[in-house]
Amino acid sequence: MSVSRVIGLSIAALFAASVAFAQEPEETVREAAERETRAAEQREEALEYSGGSIPFGEVLAAPDDVRLNLAYAREQIAGGDLKEGAATLERILLLQPQLHDVRVLYGLVLYRLGLLDRARFELETALNGELAPTVRAEAELYLERVKRLQRATRGTLTLTVGAEWDQNRNQAPSSGTLLFFDIPLTAEPRDADYAWITSVQGKITRDLGFQAGHTVYGEASYYRSDKNEVDSLDIDAVSLATGFTFNFGDFSVSPRARGSFIWLSGEDYLSTVGGEIELLYRISPVLRAYMSFRGEHEEFRAVSDYLTADERTGRRFSARPGAVWHLNPSMALTVEGLWMDKNGHTRLPGFEYESFGRYGVFAQHSWLHGGGAFTLIGGWAERSDYDSINPYISPSTVREEWLYRARFTAGAPLSWFLRGVDMPRALSTINLITQYEYEKVDSNIPNFDYDTHKVSLLLSKRITF
């Protein structure tokens, strides 16, 4: 939304960027890129197990009962006790080594435990025997993953295309008014618009040759959002990162350097250079905690539609503590906190209206339904407190606001929708993803108070090499 259309080509054009958006455009880009990356990385199919609670004493009383022991192993695995589940499966195979479907399950558990050499042996052995077509396909899939992980150099490439519709693309204020020197003015109405989305993410990892599994990696991504009507928000974004992961048993450290470049409507808008370090601790096989610290310098440039964007130039620090709890083999819960401090360099001495502190929380439930199908349900709540008034907007009020966001994502490979249809694997593994999102900003200044509904439909393909 351009304020100059509301109040004419006047001094307001010098601070159009300040009153136009409740959320900075670069934040919108990062959220979109994170959405695509998260959707691409959380589709790995999980095994589903069923059965009631089986007392251990009953298993001890019937050690030769293969069906009972298999059900007990599945229960152990479903409860996250992979090591004990693997031991139960190993005991079954000692009794009846010809049960190749059980050997496939044993291989998958070893894969999840990170015992790749043993997992490969068990899967290759099982594939030499008689297997049902679906079990054989799963064994071949995981054997391919094991072989890829055993390579010193490996990579992934995720391609995503699709469309997104936004009910309030211009983030028009819910009240229909804008403040200009505390004078209420009529704002432009909501402008619904759709955008064509293109996203490419690539990562190459190299094993450094240590027994602990230390690695070095490089990442690159490109994101484009081409709007149909609001061309001032056409976005191109490129991000680059390189870093290491050092493993020390259940603890790992991942330092990385990163940079990004964003163009708005084809104009150079933002470049960012910084670094990040992530600490991760595996508390148990089903629970891990992490903490990331990130610091960067953001260099904004004034562009045609945002003539004071350069006032946002400055440093940004953030910290994100979080935890991932695998409720069972097919469900996980992620909870993450946020603290952020931004310092923007405004033109008016003593008025730090582009500097703020932010804190919040994010939670997401991930559910893998089998066959590659998944759903993600997430929610955000973030509080932003700005350091001083913006005299052009409201000389009497310092900006304070809450951002709320709820998102539902569902997806599955084409093979899930076209069951029984014989398709080349290159096509059957393409994922169809749909997403709904509701976003609301509750601000004490009407310029930044808005809500919107978003819907997207995407096709995504992950390639490993």
- 29-73 residue pLDDT tens: 444 444 444 434 433 332 222 333 334 444 444 445 556 666 767
Count, in order, helices (H) and strands (E) of the chain: 11, 16
Q: Closest by alpha carbon to 30, among 258, 292, 252?
A: 258
State how far the Cα of 103 lies from the Cα of 124, in Å rounded to an integer: 10
E strands of 265-310, at which residues? 267-284, 287-300
pLDDT of 55 reads: 43
Joined together, the tokens standing for residue 290 give 């992490």
What pLDDT sits at residue 286? 81
Q: Is residue 301 exposed (0-12), middle (13-18) or buried (19+ Cβ within 10 Å)?
A: middle
Residues in Cβ contact with 155 at an 8 Å cutoff, skipping those fewer than 6 apart: 202, 203, 204, 205, 464, 465
Q: What is the per-residue pLDDT for 99? A: 81
Which pLDDT does position 69 carry in this prediction? 62
Q: Do residues 242 and 226 lie in contact, with contact meaning Cβ atoms separated by under 8 Å? A: no
Dihedral angle over CA of 47, 51, 53, 54, nearest 10 = -100
Residue 218 backbone dihedrals phi, psi, to 5 degrees: -135, 145
Identity of the residue numbered 402: W
Architecture of domain 56-150: Alpha Horseshoe (1.25)
Q: Is there a contact between 247 and 213 (Cβ–Cβ < 8 Å)?
A: yes
- Domain parsing of the chain, residue ranges: 4-44+153-464, 56-150
The CATH number of the domain covering residues in 4-44+153-464: 2.40.160.40
Dihedral of CA 3/308/24/304: which sign?
A: positive
What stretches in the chain show pLDDT beneath 70?
A: 1-70, 72, 76-80, 329
